[in-house]
Amino acid sequence: MNKDLTFKEYYEYYLTLHKDPRTRRLHILGQAATIVYVAGIIYTSLWPLLLAAPFVVYPFAWSGHFFFEKNTPAAFTRPIWAKACDWVMLKDTITGKIEL
| Model confidence pLDDT, tens digit, residues 39-93 | 999 999 999 999 999 999 999 999 999 999 999 999 999 999 999 999 999 999 9
Q: Which of 15, 10, 5 is nearest to 97 (CA)?
A: 15
User: pLDDT band for position 30 (50/70/90)?
Assistant: very high
CB 60 within 8 A of CB 22: no
Residue 1 has pLDDT above 80, yes or no: no
Using CA atoms, how far apart are residues 84 and 21, in angstroms rounded to an integer? Answer: 19
Q: Whole-model pTM?
A: 0.91
